[in-house]
Each structure stands twice: as structure tokens, then as C-alpha cells.
Structure 1
Amino acid sequence: MDDLWQALEAELPAARELRRELHRHPELSGSESATRDRVLAALGQSAVPVAGTGAAVRVGDGAGPSIAVRAELDALPIDERTGVEWASESPGVMHACGHDVHLAALVAVARAVERAGDGLPPLLALFQPREERYPSGARDMVGQGVLDDCAAVIGVHLHPGLEPGVVACSAGTVNASADEFTITVTGHPGHAGYPHLAQDPVVAIASIVVTLQTAVSRNVDPMTPAVLGVSSLHAGDAANAIPGTATARGTIRAYDATARDLLHHRLTTIARSVADSLGCTAHVDIVRGEPVLTNDAALAAAVTTLLGTQGFDTSADLRSMGADDFSYFAEQVPSVMLFVGATGNDMLHSPAFLPDDSDLTRVATTMLTTYLAAAQTTGAQLVISATP
């Protein structure tokens, strides 16, 4: 395996330049065609588009099922404030989640596997669109059969909540399911000085938001993680007029399918009954998003062991109520999502979030190590060097 590690080392300088190019030209979810084409050009490959603006590229001459590695194509609607020369040239769009690093690292790993020659299982590079918004790019890729000849799927994500050199690879649930909801309350508009002649949807939406705080605390087992949160409110535009409608938007997150469905039911019941009690009506729209993300236990154990031989600290057990549509892949085949510690103090989705070149190296090393561990776990006969 020494040739493989040497090949990766040789690919890293080009990967750093690719990362800067991707960072300079970010694209929003559903509009990532140019990003995909830049990545494919760097890989020296062509591919039939998948899930609209995505691609799946199989590299390596090995026989048998492939080991897939996912990287995300999309950026976020954020104004960048990093000050680097290669900052975003697209106003209001930024790679604030590390996807540029993930993409460049995957290109380096795929080129290294292709260069290293015989004895390696095929690597399936998944360049996934629409990770940041619905409809899910991962779900669409699964629906188009990209995993039909796949033994395992790997996801690697930078996380500034971990120190550099730390990788979290926990077995079991690591991310929650996530659904978005909109509550629209309809009343009867009127003059603010004559509230008795109106049905006020503002009072109703406020009462619904307060009552929803009991949905988790009085319905879900306290040992089961769940969140129901309202993040957006809107009602009216004038200080002296009662509006006809008011809306609330938010998310439902859970680690358990039963709790997830229960919260959907309680949300709808509370919204309708509270609105009705105040002379209004409520319409609830729930968009089901990502399922729970569960890491395969055997794969996570093998990855943890091998990462330790590469000098990574794997003691962290990172689980959160965040969500990632990588979970659609994990529903189909054994999968593992790893979180790699990043430099800096700015969190994901911050306009100042800026991983450095050492983060790219650690992500690429983690991807390649996990690919090798997955090959072992799924039956490939490999002799793995302990030192990259």
C-alpha cells in the first residue's frame, strides 16, 4: 500500500489549487453544473449527469463491488467575510460548510487509487448535488441506482467543534432525521383599535408557538433525543392593522422513527386546536426530509482501528441533532459518516469559516484510510501499511 500513500501525497498540491478554484466559484444547490464540470476535469474523467447536476465516477481496475466516497457540490447563500485572495466571486454565495475541501480531497483520493494500479477495489466517487436544501440530491442519486454495485459508502465532513487531528467515527446514530414545517394561521383582518371585530392570527400563532414547547417535553421519552423548534415568524406589515394571516416555520428533529411520527401528529393537533380556540384556522404543511443517519457498527469499528494507526485521535464521540442527507445512502448499504477536526474557531455556515490546507490533507487521509478499512470489512484482501 506504500504506492497508494505516495500517490496521494503527489496529488495533494493540485488538490489545494482545485480547492481554491472551487471556493472562488461557489454555486447554490441545484445549480452546481460548473462545479461538477471543474471537478470532473480535475479528475480527468467524464460522466453522465446524475440527479440533475451531480455525477458518479468509478475509478480503478479492480473487480467486484465498489467502495463509494461522497463529497458535496453545493455552497450556501452567505456573504463571505474571510478576506482571502481566493474568496468567493459570486455575490451572496459561499462555501461555508467545507464542501470545497471535501470535493478537492475526493479528487485527490480518486486519482491516487487510479494511479496506484492493481490490488485495489473500485472506488466510486459520488459528487452529490443539493445537500444543503430539499429535494435531497442523495435521495435522487439512490433513486437512480448509483449504489446498485456498491459494498459500502463513506462520508467525511469537517467539523470545527473538534480539534485538528481528531476524527469522530461513532457506531450507531450520529445525526437526527430532519423535517421542515410551515404553519399558516388564517383569521379575519381588521383595525388594531377594534380587535373585537377581527379574529387575530398573530395572537393565535404566538399561542401555538408557546404550546408547541410541550410537544417534546410532554410527549417524547426524555431518553430519546428530539427537537421541535420554530425558527421563523411572519405576520402583517403595519403597526395599526390586524393581518389576515400569520405563518411560522421550523424543523422537527428526532433520533427515533416513532418520536418523529408522534411529533408530526402533535404539531398538527396543537396548531389546529389552538387556532380554533381563538376563532382562527390553521393549515400545517410538513416536508419530510432526511432520515436518521446511522453508522454501520462493524465498519465504524474497522475504520476507528485503522485511523489510529495513522496517528488520528479517534476518542471523540460526536453525535448531534444536525442532519445530513448522507443518511439516504446509509439506508441502502453499510455506511459510515466521519467528522474531522478543523482549524479555526468559526463554526460551519459562518461567513468567516475557512479551513486551511492542513484540513484538506487530513480529510483526504481520512477518506483514503476509510476506503481501505471498508475494503477489508467487505472482504477485499489488502495488506495495509500502518504509515502513510
Structure 2
Amino acid sequence: MTATAASVEGGTTLLASLRSALERELPAAVGLRHRLHAAPDLSGAEGPTRDLLLAELAGVAGTVDPVGGTGALARVGGPGPAVGVRGELDALAVTEETGVPWASNRPGRMHACGHDVHLAALVALCRAVHATPGTVPLVAMLQPREETYPSGARDIAESPLLRDHEITSIVGAHVQPTLARGQVAATPGTVNAAADEFHLVVRGRGGHAAYPHLTSDPVLALAHVVVALQHVVSRDVDPTSSAVLGVSTLSAGSAPNVVPDEARASGTLRSMRPSIRDQVHTRLGEVADLVARAHNCRATVEITRGEPVLDNDHALATRAGTFLTALGLTVSRPLTSFGADDFSYLAEALPGLMMFVGVDGGPQARLHSGRFLPGDEAVRDVALAMLAGYVAAADLG
């Protein structure tokens, strides 16, 4: 037997013990999911959610370290190298439309991205690791501000706590309604794009709409800028590469008969390669300014750099796939998207694995929808995926 085969066999033995312990925790985890879903906290104000989770981990977590303002790292197990497993604390500013008895009791707030499922699954895994002898320490990363800037994952990645806890690798799992239930994507390499925001202002000279020749109309200029920007990806980016430049908001003026002094737009930039990212940033500014100048206006662009590309560690993804199969889950086709997750900051700092777990999200299911509601069985599936990733990381570490 090769060393690798022996390692996998040992991991499979540990997997079986942990799975038994995990199954015992799932009923309580479902109840926790309901409580989390009913009381969502927005990004930057997740303190109550964090405190609820730490209460659930009382007697399980040995040390708890605050991080990122409203986040925490909770260590399960003794000293030595550990595996980090991430769970996101924040909800979205979305009005819930599910009608379940445990729907959000906070108007305009909802766990519409599955973070309640992820957190409940993470607590179940922590309790299973605590109850199982011979396990590698696990550090539960209760991460704030996944949905907004500044990134909570970036705070953790830049913290000395990763070194202090001797974290060797980091695992995450996210519900994904585009995959069938029972399928999990553990794709090696690039899985999510870098994501940036831009804010564009076109400034002209306002005046009475009846005298356009006495104005420099920023609304007309911005309209041409928006159209011209659609050609940046199709004509400036190598067609064998990938990028997205999307204008999502437009605003100008306050009266029908007044040409305003300025018009504004904002949008998103997505890319899979650093060189393409920089190229699109540059061309966005050039095109906006040159087109605006052609209309006797000026344009300025401010770009907020967001998450980097998310790359899964090849060895970790491959080993996790073996354990997912052993747990009765199906490893899906490779899954990549122009979605973004700030888990990418953690995966830049250490070997990382983000898995996508297939769920039935309800009628018209889509992430960030007021109707998105994975069934309670998703807690089990996400917990099993986290378990496979944890054992793979412990095995390789």
C-alpha cells in the first residue's frame, strides 16, 4: 500500500467516526438554523449572531479570539496545527417572502444566501470533532461582513491569529441552487472571479432644457459612455480570457426641464486573471473620459478593489472529493462562476477549499432572493461537505 493510499484509508476511518458523531448533532443543528434564520443581523452588526453561536459552542471551544470587530475564532481541540472552517455571520437587506413559521422577525433583513445553514452546519461539525478522540484541532471562523466591504475575511487573513492558531488550511462550503441536492462541487483551481466596484461621474454644464446649445449635457454623454463600455470586454479583452463589465445604476437630474451639471453610474467588474483585471480597470477610465470629452464633458472613475480570484488548492480539492464520495455525496462537474466570495482572501493566505453544495432553494430559487429557502436537509449536506473538507485538510496537514 502506498503512503497516499494508507493516508486516505486512515482518513476514511476517522471520517466514519466523525460522521456518526455528526449525525447525532444534526437535530439540534436544524433547530439552531431556525433560530438564526428568524433573527438575522446585517453586515457589521453581527454581534448577537456571534454571541448565539459562541453560546452553542460553550464547553466545546477551548479558546475564543475576537476578530474583525464582530467576528471570532473559536478553537476546538488542544494545541498544535489546526484546520480552519469558515462560517459567515451576516444576513442581507432583503425582505423575506417565504412565509415559514421561523421566517425573519426583523423587517427588511433575511438570511437569503444560506449563511444560517452554513453556521448551523459548522456548529454541528465542531461538536462532532469535540466528541471524537484523535481529531486534529478545528478553528471555527465566525466571519463578519461577507456581503459588504470592508471584507471580514480580509481582516481574518491579515490577522496574526492564523499564525497563532497554527492553521494549515481553510475550508468553506456554500449552498448552491444551480446544483441538484446531493451534489457537491469541489473543483480544483479557479472557481470564482475577482470582483470590483466602479463609480463613474460625468460632469458637464447644466442649464435650461429648452436651450441645449448653451449646456454640455452630462446625461447624453453618460448614455454614450454606457454604450461604449459594452465594447471593452468584447473588443479589448482576449476572447480566450473572461471578464464582465456591467453598469448597474444610473442617476441624474431632478426636473424634466433642467439639464443637470452631472450624471452618475456604477457597476461591477469581474475577471478571472490579474492581468485582465488591470487591463479592464485601465480601459474603463480611458473610454469613459474620452467619450465624455467628445460631448464636451469630463468623466472621472473611482474603482473599489474587492475580492481577489478564488483558487481552490488542487490537492485539498482532490482529497476532499474522495471523502465526499465516501459520505454518499456526488462530486459534481467542475463549477466555476463570475460570482465572488471573500473566502478568496483566506485562500490567498493559506491552502483553501470552497465547496458548493446543491440545494433545493424553494420556488423561483435564487441566491439573494426573498424566496430563497433551502430545506432543513441542507444543514446535513453542508455539514457533510465541511466534514469531508476538514478530514481532507487534516489528512494532508
Q: Report the TM-score, using the length of structure 2 for normalisation.
A: 0.93
User: Does structure 2 retain, via aligned residues, the 8 Å contact 1:166–1:316?
Assistant: no
Question: SS at 2:374's partner residue?
Answer: coil
Alignment partners' CA distance in 1, 2:238 and 2:322: 34
Equivalent in the alignment of 2:177? 160
- Give 1:271 shift: 1.0
Residues 171, 296 of structure 1: 8 Å contact kept = yes
Deviation string, structure 1 residues 113-136 (Cα, Å, up to 9, x no partner): 01113x111101001000001000
What residue in structure 1 maps to residue 320 of structure 2? 303
Equivalent-residue separation in structure 1 for 2:320 and 2:21 (angstroms): 21
Residue pair 2:82, 2:138 contacting (<8 A) in 1 also: yes
Deviations 1:299-343 (A, max 9, x none): 111011111111111132110000000000010111111000001
Distance 2:65 2:346 in 1: 20
Aligned to 1:67: 83
Code of the residue aligned with 1:375 in structure 2: it is: A
Q: Which among 39, 49, 53 is matched to residue 35 of structure 1?
A: 49
Aligned residues: 376
Match in the other structure for 1:353: 372
Counterpart position of 1:386: none
Paired residue secondary structure (1:94): coil
Task: Please name the residue that 1:364 is paired with.
Answer: 383
Q: d(CA) in 1 for partners of 2:286 and 2:327? A: 52
Q: In structure 2, what residue type is equivalent to 1:349?
A: H
Please state whether the residue corresponding to 1:157 is helix, strand or coil. strand
Q: Partners of 2:358 and 2:161 in 1: how far apart?
A: 29
Q: Is the 8 A contact 1:42 1:107 kept in 2?
A: yes
Structure 2 equivalent of residue 385 of structure 1: none
Tell me the secondary structure at the aligned position of residue 170 of structure 1. Answer: coil
1:278: Cα distance to partner?
0.9
Other-structure match for 1:95: 111
How far did 1:64 drift?
2.7
Identity of aligned residues (%): 54
Equivalent residue number for residue 284 of structure 1: 301
1: distance between equivalents of 2:49 and 2:385?
Answer: 23
1:138 alignment partner, one of 134, 137, 153:
153
Partner of 2:143: 128
Distance in structure 2 (CA, Å) of the matches to 1:210 and 1:145: 46
Counterparts of residues 297-336 of structure 1 (less than 5 Å) = 297-336=314-353
State the 1:5 CA deviation: 2.0
For 2:332 and 2:299, how far apart are their aligned partners in 1? 47
Out of 240, 251, 261, which is 1:223 matched to? 240
Tell me, what secondary structure is at the counterpart of 1:218?
A: helix
Q: Deviation at 1:291?
A: 0.2
Q: Which residue of 1 aligns with 2:4?
A: none
- 1:226-237 to 2 correspondences below 5 Å: 226-237=243-254
Q: Which residue in the other structure is 2:392 paired with?
A: 373
The DSSP-based 3-state class of the residue aligned with 1:154 is: strand
Cα pair 1:56 1:125 within 8 Å, conserved: yes
* Residue of structure 1 equivalent to 2:204: 187
Could you report, residue by residue, the CA deviation over 1:205-246 in whole angstroms, capped at 9, with x for unpaired residues? 111110001111111111111101101111112111111111
CA deviation profile, 1:249-288 (whole Å, cap 9, x unmatched): 0011000000000000000111111111111111110000
- Once the two structures are overlaid, the 10-residue window that deviates more, 175-184 or 340-349, is 340-349
Aligned to 1:263: 280
Secondary structure of 2:66's aligned partner: coil
> Which stretch shifts more, 52-61 or 158-167?
52-61
For residues 244 and 49 of structure 1, the distance between their equivalents in structure 2, rounded to whole angstroms, comes to 47
Amino acid of the residue matched to residue 365 of structure 1? L
1: distance between equivalents of 2:29 and 2:94? 24
Secondary structure (helix, strand or coil) at the match of 2:236 reads: coil
Asked if the contact 1:30/1:53 (under 8 Å) is kept, the reply is yes
- Confirm or deny: 8 A CA contact 2:216 2:297 kept in the other structure: yes
Q: For 1:103-114, what aligned pairs fall within 5 Å after superposition?
A: 103-114=119-130
Letter in 2 for 1:99: H
1:49 is displaced (CA, Å) by: 1.9
- Which of 11, 17, 28 aligns to 2:31? It is 17
Cα distance, 1:185 vs. partner? 0.9
Deviation larger for 368-377 or 87-96 = 368-377
Q: Answer yes or no: is the 8 Å Cα contact 1:186–1:246 preserved in 2.
A: yes
Q: Which amino acid aligns with 1:277?
A: A
Whether the aligned pair in 1 keeps the contact of 2:324 and 2:384 (CA below 8 Å) is no
Match of 1:50 in 2: 67
In structure 2, give the amino acid aligned to 1:12: L
- Normalising by structure 1, we get a TM-score of 0.95
CA distance in 1 between counterparts of 2:314 and 2:254 reads 53
CA distance in 2, matches of 1:142, 1:5: 29
- Output the amino acid matched with 2:175: L
Could you tell me which amino acid in structure 2 is paired with residue 357 of structure 1? D
Distance in 2, matches of 1:159 and 1:12, equals 20
SS of the residue 1:49 aligns to? strand
